[in-house]
Amino acid sequence: MVKRLDYKTAILTKPPRDRQIIRLTTPPGFCEAKVSVNRQGGWRLGVFWLIMAVTLLGGAGISGLWLVQLVPERTCDALTPMTPASERLWCGQVAAQTGDFQGVFQAIAEIDQWSEDHPLYKDAQELIEDWTRLVLATAAQHLDQGDLGGALELARQLPNSESVARLTQTTLTDWETQWQEGEELAEQFETAIQQQAWSEAEQVNLSLGQHPLDYWRVERRGEFQTRLQQEQRGAQLLAQAQQLAGEGTVQSLDQAIQLVNQIEGSTYIKGQAQVQQSFWSRWFLEQARLYLQQGGVAEAIALVERIPPQSLVYPQAQDCLNGIRALQNNLGRGGSLPPTLLQLCQGQ
């Protein structure tokens, strides 16, 4: 009876090496050596029989060593049509324990062909079920890591037989259906946060909390929850920044720009915030140009320096700033403004 393999904790007991030992018995006539010793030549006869006994018994011992035959250790690398059925099952167990799924697939394909009257048919069917569940459990690990393709690829390498199909068909169909449901929820979530429909986004997350697959229920739900919080905070920061910018002062616009810089760069709201930030940055450039026309070089430089590197206008602001500093001495003496400099600092 072949021991059934637990697909979660494979326990394998390897059979001991078979030994065929032929034992020798003491040859007749040597169990007892009765030596007659006479007074004159008995000791010579005794020595002769002693030498013969040692010689023959020693030869028998050496012959016995040659007759001890060791059956080679079982190997699963070169199975042949003559390989015993029990050894095929044993090799399947070895493959399952070591994670050699190609060996498992081969074992299933071979023993699944046994007829119901095969002496090991029942054991084989139990092991096929165990091995199939082991492969599916490993495929499910790919699924938990978000690799649906890898999970299906591994599971579909199982031999296409009735014994395997009754376990795999429903499982694989469920995986694909459940994965599709997760993707549809992800699309709904993306649409909701783009439109700032926070209630709808939260409802999607609640639905993901009931998803049967760990990847969607745990990993993706946690990811969506973080993104929802980032989008909501970004929207709040942008609203505060717009309110400040409405005051129309240098200080309020500077604070508005700094608030926008705190919005997470991966959010949808960041795009809207950058548009606003560029508009406010151009206001600084335009005010700097007006100061330059009136000879306020220091004031112009101070305004341009308020434009942060995160602003889309920053490269233009740096060109304006470098141009002002290059001509700072002439501007300070009331020199005329080069048209190119006015163009660099034009915010409209």
The radius of gyration of the chain from alpha carbons, rounded to an integer in Å, stands at 44
Overall domain count for the chain = 3
Is there a single domain that holds both residue 107 and residue 131? yes
**Residue 187 in domain:** no
Mean pLDDT in each 10-residue stretch from start to end of the chain (348 residues)? 38 34 32 39 48 48 40 55 61 69 74 70 78 89 94 88 81 95 97 96 95 95 96 97 94 94 94 93 92 86 92 91 80 65 75
Is there a single domain that holds both residue 101 and residue 44? no
What's residue 164's pLDDT? 82
Q: Which domain holds residue 323?
A: 282-348
Domain end: 160, 187, 218, which one? 160
Domain end: 160, 189, 207, which one? 160
By residue count, the chain amounts to 348
Is there a single domain that holds both residue 57 and residue 109? no
**Residue 108 in domain:** yes
What's residue 88's pLDDT? 64
Residues in Cβ contact with 315 at an 8 Å cutoff, skipping those fewer than 6 apart: none
Dist CA 137 CA 148 (whole Å): 13
Amino acid type, 35: V
Residues in Cβ contact with 301 at an 8 Å cutoff, skipping those fewer than 6 apart: 288, 321, 324, 325
**Residue 7 in domain:** no
Is there a single domain that holds both residue 97 and residue 136? yes
Q: Which conformational region is residue 196 in: left (phi greater than 0), alpha (psi within -120 to 50 degrees), or beta?
A: left
**Residue 308 in domain:** yes
Q: Which two tokens stand for residue 298?
A: 């220091």
Dist CA 245 CA 284 (whole Å): 12
Q: What number of CA atoms fall less than 13 Å from residue 122's CA on the CB side?
A: 3
What's residue 35's pLDDT? 36
What's residue 83's pLDDT? 58
CA angle 228, 229, 230 (to 5 degrees): 90
Domain end: 160, 180, 210, which one? 160
**Residue 104 in domain:** yes
Q: Report yes or no on whether pTM surpasses 0.75.
A: no
**Residue 12 in domain:** no
Is there a single domain that holds both residue 62 and residue 104? no
Is there a single domain that holds both residue 118 and residue 62? no
**Residue 213 in domain:** no
Dist CA 88 CA 111 (whole Å): 8
What's residue 5's pLDDT? 40
What's residue 292's pLDDT? 86
**Residue 143 in domain:** yes
